[in-house]
Structure 1
Amino acid sequence: MADKIRLLPEVVANQIAAGEVVNRPASVVKEMMENAIDAGAALVKVNFRDGGKDLIQIVDDGCGMSPIDARMAFDRHATSKIGAVEDIYALHTFGFRGEALASIAAVSQVELRTRQAGDEVGTETEINGGQFVAQNPVMCPVGSQFFVRNLFYNVPARRRFLDKSTTSASQIKAEFQRIALCNPQIAFELYANDAPVYTLQAGSLAGRIVDVVGRHIKQNLLEVEADTSIARIEGYIGRPAAAKKRNTEQYLFVNGRFFKSTYLTSAILKAYEKLIPESCQPSYFLYLTLDPGRI
């Protein structure tokens, strides 16, 4: 009987893996914004067209990449974040698996222009559907410019089931807000179909919250700060009088990452007990810091 088991081609494996990392345009924005922050960017610009299906553009002024790194960055499990399994338990970066760019490139047409501070010229790298197309020298500023075009163009079944452009735009905006709220020391810009949505200057956390959420919240923020044996907690909560029946101004972060926790949400509501009606929800922007090994 003939042997039946065979290795999948690398391109096919990356397309399958893409489903774990990239399930919508907002996933691409999140992964690539976090890469820009890991690269030490002081300014990150995001632009998208047609809800991200036509184009997602991420521009940063971070450290940039060498020509070799610009090519290797699209290989699966190629990463600058860890070198041994033990490093996973002391992470201070967002990405570490080296799968994001490979997965994104497997289901889109990607163009990267990047330059390091010490290089006279930069590098332009093109990847289409996971296949290397070309790499050439190019004039560009220090940092990286990613152009992700035609998301899921080579996986038509996935592309057909993408959310409507308006829904995708809202999801991208939500991811942008979460990352911007967690990094007030970095300037961010968001454009939808080349029209400005947010222009956020680097500044204080309170200022960033007001810039992202709106000026209505400025008078309702109460600063909180506490140290426990497990974690340091800081941030802002809303005054009880400002509680609303439907409240989207609720954010929890741990070591720079947004997360959701029914346990902590219940604890916060318990603190507001008898201060707000049972049908209302308070605003909160709480940041937990703890040893990465304990997460």
Structure 2
Amino acid sequence: MSQRIAILPEIITNKIAAGEVVERPASVIKELIENALDAGATDIAVEVTAGGRRLMRITDNGHGMSREDALLSLERHATSKIKTDSDLESLLTLGFRGEALPSIASVSRFRLATREPDSLEGTEINMEGGRIRDVKACGMAPGTVISVEQLFFNTPARLKFLRSAETEAAHVADSVTRMAISRPDVAFCCTSDGRELLRVQRGDLLRRLTQILGKTSAAALHAVQSSAEGIEVTGFISSPTAARSTTSAMFTYINGRFVRDRVVQHAIMQAYRGVIDKGRYPVCALFIALPPGEVDVNVHPTKHEVRFRRQTLMHDTLQSAIEEVLKASPWLASRQVIAAPPTTPSVSQAYLERVAAAAQTSLNLPRREVPSYTAAQTAPRVSEPTPHFQSAPAVLEPPAAVAIELPEATEPPASAENGYFSSLTIIGQFHAEYLLCQSGNELVVIDQHAASERVAFQLLRRQYECGAVESQRLLFPETVELSFGEVATAQRFTAELSGIGFEMEPFGGNTIIVSAVPRLAIERDCIRLVRDLLGELSQLGASSAFHDIQESLLSRIACHSVIRGPRMLEHRQIRELLQRMDETDFAASCPHGRPVSHTITHAELEKIFKRT
């Protein structure tokens, strides 16, 4: 019988591996930059032509390689990063598979030039389609230069899937950006067709984010620094107003490695739930450091996916670290505690030193010191004393509203315990919907519905966490006609609805009886609220999923139970609302993510009236 099974030639196996590692020019750039960083480079230059189709060149000042190591690096599964299988559980380097270089060389015209610092000459290797064409000595500075020309020239099926040169160049720039954020101690330069796309110098993380995101976006970032049970979370997150419509500005790193992990993204979005609108995503650069044995990076050749040994702990630690910052609402400038300012978090210096040490050990080279960078301290913002501001008693109001004259604006009693909202000077109301207040040289406009909704939601959530939401029995139970699906939903979630203050039971057919509702919502349209809640619950497949949307249900109850539309408030009511706002979490937004307040500075007003 003829033999049907055969071992594939090496050239074919390399092309198969390239299909996993090399998706487009950007993936080539990523792999080569990772190798440069593992080699201890502090300056990396990336040059592409025609979006990377024609040429990609990466130059670094790392440790370089000897002639023997350079030739061996082009063999499959040849690496200096690991020696035994146990090393997979203690990885401190970005690369370790030993597949990148041979895979890239198999689908391009490839040139590798490298020189060690103590060597008199470098080594140049030229390859075409995975075959070595020439090996010779060359003169060059210490480091490595890799040129990749005519990518996919021998695999036309892959070549036709590449996008336009502009699109591919943009993906290359995004890849370099992600790597640049991960290592602010390394200088990066990226050019496309002679045009500079990115140039950043060494510095701390905040400076690097300012260089990449711009001063406006960086000004909206706030420091995160937390640790628990061996998991350390550092970096920056944005205020709700800086949220974007895509996840393109969410940079997350596990032990210095950029990842797109669903668990990590879910933890971030859970922390921002109720702070930003649905479909919006925060700007963030978060570094999660944990023992190498706690995370498996050997999941996919691209190494963008990871698996956590204690997934729930990692998720909850990250979510808690972000929530602690969001609860303080640091973007409210006057909301501050006079204390020593925290240092700006940066990529762990200890981690950088471990990476450098691992690279030095694996290459058997003398130790090179990793340049340290000092975390800059954030200067405390001292609020100016609030001048006494007399308000005019007249306020604008809709025709149907009944005016209630507010007293003159007065300063609240001096107290060290006053929060941001409690310390505001009340000016009055506008259109019976907005509160006008003063804080120093700023005019603060507060949406009274959003503020009342946040206060009500906080009360409902505390009651729910203590056992059950306080309910009020109806004097005359209401009958509600629903669809048969909604009746089935009411029966399936009877116990859960009881926990948030509703008591309802079947009345036959497609009718139910509502005998109790949350006390906060007793004076509102309870039947409409019941319909809305059942409509939202009908989308859940099981009662176990109720916990995932319980805050959404509580926010809906809060929205139905508070001020809606124009309503005049007395000075006492306004003061009480402001005081309660200081007792809430996420006071800068309502439970649905809409902002509670907006600040207009004195300088902005003078600019409007052309006084500057």
1:92 has 2:106 as partner: no
What is the CA distance between 1:251 and its match in structure 2?
A: 1.3
Aligned-partner residue type, residue 131 of structure 2 = Q
1:158 has 2:158 as partner: yes
What is the CA distance between 1:279 and its match in structure 2?
A: 4.4
For 2:263 and 2:90, locate their aligned partners in 1 and report how far apart those are by CA, in whole Å. Answer: 25
1:127 is paired with a residue whose SS is strand
**2:453 alignment partner in structure 1:** none
Aligned-partner residue type, residue 188 of structure 1 = F
For 2:172 and 2:246, locate their aligned partners in 1 and report how far apart those are by CA, in whole Å. Answer: 21
Q: Percent identity over the alignment?
A: 38
**1:248 alignment partner in structure 2:** 248
Q: Deviations over 1:1-40 (max 9, x none)?
A: 2223222211121111110111111110000000000000
For 2:158 and 2:279, locate their aligned partners in 1 and report how far apart those are by CA, in whole Å. Answer: 39
What is the CA distance between 1:96 and its match in structure 2?
A: 0.8
For 2:247 and 2:72, locate their aligned partners in 1 and report how far apart those are by CA, in whole Å. Answer: 43
For 2:7 and 2:148, locate their aligned partners in 1 and report how far apart those are by CA, in whole Å. Answer: 28
For 1:95 and 1:273, locate their aligned partners in 2 and report how far apart those are by CA, in whole Å. Answer: 35
What is the CA distance between 1:240 and its match in structure 2?
A: 2.2
Q: Indicate how the Cα distance of structure 1 residues 114 and 243 shifts in structure 2: closer, same or farther if over 3 A, else same.
A: same
**1:65 alignment partner in structure 2:** 65
**1:28 alignment partner in structure 2:** 28
- Contact 2:224 2:236 (8 Å CA) reproduced: yes
The count of residues paired between Structure 1 and Structure 2 equals 295
Unaligned runs of 5+ in 2: 296-612
1:223 has 2:227 as partner: no
For 2:279 and 2:95, locate their aligned partners in 1 and report how far apart those are by CA, in whole Å. Answer: 38
For 2:24 and 2:247, locate their aligned partners in 1 and report how far apart those are by CA, in whole Å. Answer: 25
**2:204 alignment partner in structure 1:** 204
For 1:281 and 1:97, locate their aligned partners in 2 and report how far apart those are by CA, in whole Å. Answer: 33
1:191 is paired with a residue whose SS is strand
For 1:91 and 1:134, locate their aligned partners in 2 and report how far apart those are by CA, in whole Å. Answer: 34
Q: Deviations over 1:59-94 (max 9, x none)?
A: 000000101111111110111111111111100111
1:43 has 2:43 as partner: yes
Q: Which moves more between the two structures, 150-159 or 271-280?
A: 271-280
Q: Which moves more between the two structures, 43-52 or 262-271?
A: 262-271
TM norm structure 2: 0.47
**1:119 alignment partner in structure 2:** 119
For 1:281 and 1:99, locate their aligned partners in 2 and report how far apart those are by CA, in whole Å. Answer: 35
2:277 is paired with a residue whose SS is coil
1:268 has 2:268 as partner: yes
**Rg larger in structure:** 2
What is the CA distance between 1:230 and its match in structure 2?
A: 4.2
What is the CA distance between 1:198 and its match in structure 2?
A: 1.1
Aligned-partner residue type, residue 197 of structure 1 = L
For 2:208 and 2:125, locate their aligned partners in 1 and report how far apart those are by CA, in whole Å. Answer: 35
What is the CA distance between 1:292 and its match in structure 2?
A: 0.8
What is the CA distance between 1:218 and its match in structure 2?
A: 2.5
What is the CA distance between 1:170 and its match in structure 2?
A: 1.5
What is the CA distance between 1:161 and its match in structure 2?
A: 1.8
2:282 is paired with a residue whose SS is coil
1:162 is paired with a residue whose SS is coil
- Contact 2:173 2:198 (8 Å CA) reproduced: no
For 1:82 and 1:247, locate their aligned partners in 2 and report how far apart those are by CA, in whole Å. Answer: 34
Superposed, which structure 2 residues align to 1:274-285 within 5 Å?
274-285=274-285
Q: Deviations over 1:102-148 (max 9, x none)?
A: 00000001111111011111111111100011110110110000000
Q: Deviations over 1:251-294 (max 9, x none)?
A: 11111111123333333233333433334332111110001111
- Contact 2:36 2:60 (8 Å CA) reproduced: yes
**1:237 alignment partner in structure 2:** 237
2:77 is paired with a residue whose SS is coil
Unaligned runs of 5+ in 1: none
For 1:126 and 1:246, locate their aligned partners in 2 and report how far apart those are by CA, in whole Å. Answer: 41
Q: Indicate how the Cα distance of structure 1 residues 167 and 79 shifts in structure 2: closer, same or farther if over 3 A, else same.
A: same
For 1:277 and 1:19, locate their aligned partners in 2 and report how far apart those are by CA, in whole Å. Answer: 39
Q: Deviations over 1:203-250 (max 9, x none)?
A: 000000111111211211100100011410000011223223445321
Higher share of residues assigned strand:
1
Aligned-partner residue type, residue 146 of structure 1 = I
For 1:57 and 1:280, locate their aligned partners in 2 and report how far apart those are by CA, in whole Å. Answer: 36
**1:169 alignment partner in structure 2:** 169
Aligned-partner residue type, residue 241 of structure 1 = T
Cα RMSD of the aligned pairs, angstroms, is 1.4
For 1:151 and 1:250, locate their aligned partners in 2 and report how far apart those are by CA, in whole Å. Answer: 29
For 2:124 and 2:261, locate their aligned partners in 1 and report how far apart those are by CA, in whole Å. Answer: 42
For 1:19 and 1:161, locate their aligned partners in 2 and report how far apart those are by CA, in whole Å. Answer: 12
Q: Which moves more between the two structures, 267-276 or 182-191?
A: 267-276
